[in-house]
Amino acid sequence: MIINRRPIIQDGIIPIQLSSLSSENNQQHQLSEREELIVKHVKQIKIVDLEQHPAYNGPILFNQDVTFIIHVFKSTDEEPIEETTDEGGDVEEVTACKQSTLPNDSFDGLWESLIFDENVKYNLLEYAATTMRFSDLGVDQNLISWNRVVLLYGPPGTGKTSLCKGLAQKLAIRMSHRYPSGGTLIEINSHSLFSKWFSESGKLVMKLFKKIFEIVEDEESFVCVLMDEVESLTAARKSALSGSEPSDSIRVVNALLTQLDQLKRYKNVLILTTSNITEAIDLAFVDRADIKQYIGPPSAKGRYSILRSCLVELMRVSVIKPNVIIPKWTDKEAPENSYALKLKEIAESCEGLSGRSLRKLPFLSHAFYLNHINGSVDLSQYLNAIDTAIKNKILNLSGD
């Protein structure tokens, strides 16, 4: 019998344990055929997305009325394929796009690692589900329109790009039964499209989209196109007004928008875009986005959760010993737990730090404020080191 003795359901990996003794007659338990199949083929079982639902309120007991939605999938360890601007001649070669097969091992756990205060993740999943449902039902797009374009904007290091990649992975997992050919994430390098060789850019856009359309044509595959830093479109238009090659750059921006318009007609496509400049995104582009979601720096609660996840990881690899439980911000034990109290104090003291900076903080604290480089330290020592690092503004030192 495959057992899991956890009485409570929480996010996390469930170790697959096999009972070595049968409970009744104390004899060696023989695996059933089904159990053998699981042990042989299942790498891990994870419980995820509990907190995504707005009604969620803490751990759920097994004996409560819970509906499990189970997704079985096979992830690949394939490296991304890079397409370069290989035009020959003396023009420098740059990466035009990167193509990754989904679900991909390199994105495993990314979605779960992202912590936002609002229901950003839940809303994105619901948005994707609605685009699929409306397409499936054949809703007339002349009457009800949606563009399959998402724009995430906000300051640097707040998790926009990671969220797009995590979403692509998540959707590929959730929809693996619908798309037997699998999923693909295509990351377009906006900078290469709007490089200084505008004369080449038009050709590049066409070449790039030709490739994308080839993949999208297969209706049995799911495609996410990620365009990071779309503000480069605006930069291109601006340079058109003042620069040396006005017509070229305008043409490129328009070519790109036209291609995107054609792409969104396919129901197996989602276009994910990001920008870290709030005001200056190309208006024609902004207009095309169904969701324009601001992603800001985390709140104190978010900072607590991010740092907590870093500390849990450091305990997993025994940099911090012994292994102790740090309650979540909302756990009822938190107000009496000394680690939680200290971590709360730290989280409150570092307002404005982005997720990226927070994830760097434990590393820098170890490097500069702990003496036990080769040995383990306990959690209190580590928390003090983080505290000192913040007080000494270490992240400013490192350029954040």
Which residues of the chain form contacts with ligand ATP (CB under 6 A)? 113-116, 156-162, 274, 276, 298, 306, 355-356, 359
Helices 300-316 + 379-391 axis angle, to 10: 130
Residues 6 or more apart in contact with residue 76 via CB below 8 angstroms: 101, 103, 104, 105
The residue among 271 and 383 lying less far from Mg ion, judged by its C-beta, is 271
C-alpha count within 13 angstroms, C-beta hemisphere, residue 44: 10
Task: Count the residues in the chain.
Answer: 400
Question: CB 359 → Mg ion: shortest distance, Å?
Answer: 14
The residue among 161 and 398 lying less far from Mg ion, judged by its C-beta, is 161
The residue among 244 and 278 lying less far from ligand ATP, judged by its C-beta, is 278
Q: Give which of Mg ion, ligand ATP, none residue 288 binds (C-beta under 5 to 8 Å, depending on kind).
A: none
Question: CB 120 → Mg ion: shortest distance, Å?
Answer: 15
Question: CB 397 → Mg ion: shortest distance, Å?
Answer: 23
The residue among 171 and 306 lying less far from ligand ATP, judged by its C-beta, is 306
Instruction: Note whether 378 and 342 are within 8 A (CB).
Output: no
Is 161 a binding residue for Mg ion by CB under 5 A? The answer is: yes
The residue among 158 and 365 lying less far from Mg ion, judged by its C-beta, is 158
Instruction: Note whether 359 and 400 are within 8 A (CB).
Output: no
Q: Give which of ligand ATP, Mg ion, none residue 392 binds (C-beta under 5 to 8 Å, depending on kind).
A: none
Residues 6 or more apart in contact with residue 357 via CB below 8 angstroms: 157, 395, 400
Is 106 a binding residue for Mg ion by CB under 5 A? The answer is: no
Question: CB 225 → ligand ATP: shortest distance, Å?
Answer: 16
Which pairs from 53-62 meet CB under 8 Å and 24+ separation?
53/122, 54/119, 54/122, 58/330, 58/331, 59/8, 59/9, 59/10, 60/8, 60/9, 61/7, 61/8, 61/9, 62/6, 62/7, 62/8, 62/9
Question: CB 355 → ligand ATP: shortest distance, Å?
Answer: 2
The residue among 162 and 268 lying less far from Mg ion, judged by its C-beta, is 162
Instruction: Note whether 73 and 182 are within 8 A (CB).
Output: no
Please identify the residue of the shown chain whose CB is closest to the bound ligand ATP: 355
Report d(CA 365, CA 386) in Å as an integer.
Answer: 5
The letter for the amino acid at 178 is R
Instruction: Return the range that interacts with Mg ion (CB under 5 A); candidates 161-169, 280-288, 312-320, 365-373.
Output: 161-169
Residues 6 or more apart in contact with residue 377 via CB below 8 angstroms: 319, 320, 321, 370, 385
Instruction: Return the range that interacts with Mg ion (CB under 5 A); candidates 63-71, 160-168, 169-177, 332-340.
Output: 160-168
Q: Give which of ligand ATP, Mg ion, none residue 116 binds (C-beta under 5 to 8 Å, depending on kind).
A: ligand ATP
Q: Give which of Mg ion, ligand ATP, none residue 159 binds (C-beta under 5 to 8 Å, depending on kind).
A: ligand ATP
The residue among 163 and 270 lying less far from ligand ATP, judged by its C-beta, is 163
- The binding site for Mg ion (CB under 5 A) comprises 161
